[in-house]
Amino acid sequence: MADYDIIIIGSGPGGYVAAIRAAQLGYRTAIVEREHLAGICSNWGCIPTKALLRSAEILHYGQHAKDYGLVLEGTFKADLEAIVKRSRGIAARMNNGVQFLMKKNKVDVIWGEATLTKSSDKDRPGTISVVPTKKPPVQPQVPPPKNAKGEGTYTADHIIVATGARPRALPGIEPDGKLIWTYFEAMVPAKLPKSLLVMGSGAIGIEFASFYRTMGVEVTVVEVMPQVVPVEDAEIGAFARKAFEKQGIKILTSAKVTKVEKGSDSVTAHIEDEKGGKLTITADRMISAVGVVGNIENLGLEALGVKTDRGCIVIDGLCRTNVKGLYAIGDVAGPPMLAHKAEHEGVICVEAIKGLHPHPMDKLMIPGCTYCHPQIASVGLTEAKAKAAGHEIKVGRFPFVANGKAVALGEDSGLAKTIFDAKTGKLLGAHLVGPEVTELIQGFVVAMNLETTEEELMHTVFPHPTISEVMKESVLDAYGKALNA
């Protein structure tokens, strides 16, 4: 008999959710963690970055108090040390929360680095050897649970790899933690740089650009693609770029950093555009935000013959690898590398093991959110991809400037865009830029999952006054029926 029914390697959003669902279904479950419970998302990603951005948001409103008829007397400024301390405290709180959930659900925590080896039992995927963590990429701020198990060999009938990802490094421009930062260092600055160069304008890069610019730093963003936030709809990207530039962020698109020279307390980046034009930019610090790569090394995947592709483990719609009894979820299983995708894969994976016949993951139904200012959120196909897929489409647009609630909030810069199949009325995609759109997008996600048509959306009553009314108006506009624009 195996030590456990299911062992999960990695306790990020995918791993710990998979462990909880497995325990709920009656499986003897353990989770192996080498560094910190709750993974990058809660400790160094999703949650603590939102804490930083919240502080920046409040600073922004304080600086624009007069726009709301308010007068702030005395000094109103950022206390960087306190901002970072608050962010780290929230991360610790999330870490402790996952410790509680493991205890509540009777999931064993095994502390250390895991390696897979072939099992002598043909019905099992392999044996897990756990050794003490040698040198984790980031030291944990919260100690492991007191009752955590440690070094040893463990067996399970099913093994789920949920080891996440780490920042990608470009050759010759590797982060050093001092002058060239990853998101780890960018989250805990000892002091604010006067100038910052951000390489990459995906969610990570543009969120840090937004935070540091609001804090008063001179920010330049360099993006190799023709638009910022390149995964987004081109129209949304163009709208966002204007908003960023209005805030004072300098943006260079279709450009790449070819070389970096380090000074004593600054970096000089050599940049080349698509036409061969060259320039140099010197900044106090640089953030490398050129994506992430899956943590597949030193796991023993090669020994088991696990198929990988471009740094990620290859899986099917139910998270199964090519090795019986071995599964992968989350960032290590490929894009989109999002916490909510990892969580859902964890549930799908465990329920499939149980034989509950869950729906395979449909990546078109996974929303993407970027928490810059203004926020960006989307789901489904962009206009360009919808056309490329052969759809005859109807496109609706509605500006936030025509929404009463947005005007009352003083946040009327935004756009809602919806894309429908002209023949069937199927909602193919929804794209938003503006205040709190990361909360609004879920309405469109639900609609797409329910296969809602434009007619049903038009007959849905949206409360007034709310920002959500831009959603319905964009649907109406797609069919020439907009009421408020």
Strand 152-161 relative to strand 326-328: parallel, antiparallel, unpaired?
parallel
Ramachandran category for residue 177: left, alpha or beta (phi over 0 → left; psi -120 to 50 → alpha)? left
- Beta-bridge partners for 286: 180, 197
Rounded CA separation 67/21 (Å): 48
Does 464 participate in catalysis according to the annotation? yes
Q: Which DSSP state fits 463?
A: P
Q: Which DSSP state fits 317?
A: T
**Which of 36, 60, 459, 464 is labelled catalytic?**
464
DSSP-derived 3-state class of residue 39 = helix
Burial (Cβ within 10 Å: 0-12, 13-18, ≥19) of residue 34: buried
Cis preceding linkage at 335, omega within 30:
no
Alpha helices in 284-382 (DSSP H): 301-304, 339-354
Pair of tokens at residue 122: 């043909």
Q: Which residues contact 438 (CB under 8 A, 6 or more apart)?
A: 369, 370, 371, 375, 376, 377
Q: Which residues carry out catalysis?
A: 464
